[in-house]
């Protein structure tokens, strides 16, 4: 079977049966399509899966690094390709040529993390009430933007002060408590801002549900309107949530549950510790 045909079967059949979320499958599709294009060009035509060699995988990864693709992105693509080739080897009874391919080392990068006061100032000066609701919800809950956009009216119980995340990353559900500030933000949005439309999504537009692209665009517009120089994204707000709760004494296990991470290792990327934080830690021994 041709490589591109097998990729379609892997994503649309195997990954679906594995319960992989739509966004995960979309990322796999994008990464594997780049690998397909490389193999198609280097082999002067789309090769069959049996014709893929270890040199194809290594050549693709080297080309990505040479083209300036971020090391951690290439690392992720390496794992996606290796997972696909491992599955293909079992399905097609061929050699798993990706098994012994080395992957780039993880490069520790701490994305920009605005301060808690920064975000509070942004909320106080928000011109767009929808942007304010989105920024406030992400800041006070640590939700992924995809989880925010997927919220349904029945998932938010303002009376009990809870928010249910259904089918989050990895297909996991979780129940989050809401503090008084975010309850006020959500209540105001629901009763004074949300348009009357025929969708059960909590965050909606006049034409239906709110998309992740549109949510990001609203935050970007507010950032530009307030002349904020530093980057501000849905993901950076998730980092603020984790970092500042950690600095206030919330242990990693609790943060892991709030953020919906399957491992503490993944969570480490979200916790930004400054030199002052580390100095405070060693001073506890004095």
Residue 95 to residue 84: CA distance in whole angstroms: 12
Q: List phi, psi (to 5°) of 201.
A: -70, 140
Q: Tell me whether residue 206 is one of the annotated catalytic residues.
A: no
Q: Tell me whether residue 217 is one of the annotated catalytic residues.
A: no
Query: Which entry of 223, 238, 239, 244 is annotated as an active-site residue?
Result: 238
Query: Which entry of 34, 220, 235, 247 is annotated as an active-site residue?
Result: 235
Query: Which entry of 77, 132, 183, 261 is annotated as an active-site residue?
Result: 261
Query: Which entry of 169, 183, 194, 223 is annotated as an active-site residue?
Result: 169
Query: Which entry of 82, 144, 194, 239 is annotated as an active-site residue?
Result: 144
Residue 84 vs residues 36, 143, 182, 268: alpha-carbon distances, Å: 12, 29, 42, 27
Give the helix ranges, DSSP H, for the chain.
Answer: 3-9, 15-17, 22-42, 54-66, 71-92, 116-124, 129-141, 145-150, 180-188, 212-225, 234-247, 252-259, 264-267, 275-283
Q: Tell me whether residue 261 is one of the annotated catalytic residues.
A: yes
Q: Tell me whether residue 127 is one of the annotated catalytic residues.
A: no
CA contacts within 13 A on the Cβ side of 223: 20
Q: Tell me whether residue 93 is one of the annotated catalytic residues.
A: no
Residue 224 to residue 236: CA distance in whole angstroms: 16
Q: Tell me whether residue 201 is one of the annotated catalytic residues.
A: no
Instruction: Supply the residues annotated as catalytic.
Output: 144, 169, 235, 238, 261, 270
């Amino acid at each position: 079977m041709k490589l591109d045909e097998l990729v379609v079967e892997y994503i649309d059949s195997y990954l679906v049966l594995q319960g992989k979320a739509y966004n995960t499958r979309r990322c796999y599709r994008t990464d594997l399509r780049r690998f397909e294009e490389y193999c198609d060009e280097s082999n002067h035509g789309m090769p069959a899966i049996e014709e893929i060699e270890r040199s194809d995988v290594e050549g693709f990864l080297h080309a990505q690094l040479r083209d300036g693709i971020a090391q951690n992105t290439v690392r992720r693509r390496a794992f996606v390709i290796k997972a696909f080739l491992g599955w293909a080897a079992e399905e097609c009874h061929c050699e798993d040529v990706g098994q012994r391919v080395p992957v780039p080392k993880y490069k520790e990068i701490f994305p920009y993390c605005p301060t808690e006061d920064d975000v509070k100032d942004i909320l106080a000066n928000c011109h767009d009430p929808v942007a304010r609701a989105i920024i406030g919800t992400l800041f006070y809950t640590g939700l992924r933007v995809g989880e925010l956009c997927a919220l349904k009216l029945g998932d938010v119980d303002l009376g009990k002060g809870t928010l249910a995340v259904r089918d989050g990353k990895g297909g996991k559900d979780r129940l989050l408590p809401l503090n008084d500030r975010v309850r006020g933000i959500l209540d105001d949005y629901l009763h004074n801002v949300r348009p009357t439309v025929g969708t059960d999504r909590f965050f909606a537009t006049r034409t239906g549900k709110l998309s992740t692209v549109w949510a990001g665009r609203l935050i970007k517009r507010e950032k530009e309107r307030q002349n904020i120089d530093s980057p501000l994204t849905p993901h950076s707000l998730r980092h603020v949530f984790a970092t500042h709760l950690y600095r206030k004494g919330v242990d990693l296990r609790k943060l892991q549950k709030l953020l919906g991470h399957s491992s503490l290792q993944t969570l480490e990327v979200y916790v930004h510790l400054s030199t002052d934080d580390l100095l405070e830690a060693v001073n506890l021994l004095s």
